[in-house]
Amino acid sequence: MLIEFALRSEKKTRNMKRDLKGPLQLKSFVFGADAYRLCDLLWKTEKEWILTRQLMRSSTAIGALCAESEHAQSKSDFINKLSIARKECNESKYWIAMMHEVGLLSEPIAEKLEARAEELMRLLTSSIRTAHANLQNSKAA
């Protein structure tokens, strides 16, 4: 059965009490929350545990790693946390594609989630590149 699912707007999340610093943390938080709600729905309606656990784990790890990077012990640690978040994001894209391929997700939902994951990949890549450049500049100085 194909699941139709409404993705949450980032604007609704902005009213949260938790202080999300910047677009990367906000977008990764919303992506993880949407994926969690989708997986919960699939558990309840399809009794599907294998793929949903994988997507739930990888998608929620992105935001957790971004939050963790906020208090990194060093610039290298910051880069490492964001690099792992990028790997988790890439893995999430894989699970979304797999769930679509096996008929658990409709094409519109899979495309929306994929687009959000791709946006996160771009933000993470940009942040990592900037952090690398800043690290190299601080070593040169």
- The total domain count for the chain is 1
Does residue 13 form part of some domain? no
Sequence-distant (6+) residues with CB within 8 A of 1 are 45, 46, 103, 104
Q: How far is Cα 49 from Cα 114, in angstroms, rounded to an integer?
A: 20
Does residue 2 form part of some domain? no
Does residue 4 form part of some domain? no
Does residue 44 form part of some domain? yes
Written as one string, the DSSP assignment of 83-102 is HHHHHHHHHHHHHHHHHHHT
**Torsion sign over Cα 7, 11, 14, 20:** positive
User: What is the CATH number for 134?
Assistant: 1.20.1440.60
Lowest mean pLDDT among 17-26, 47-56, 60-69: 17-26
Tens digit of each residue's pLDDT (9 = 90 or more) over 23-55: 999 999 999 999 999 999 999 988 989 999 999
Tens digit of each residue's pLDDT (9 = 90 or more) over 85-114: 999 999 999 999 999 999 999 999 999 999
Given this model, what pLDDT does residue 2 score? 47
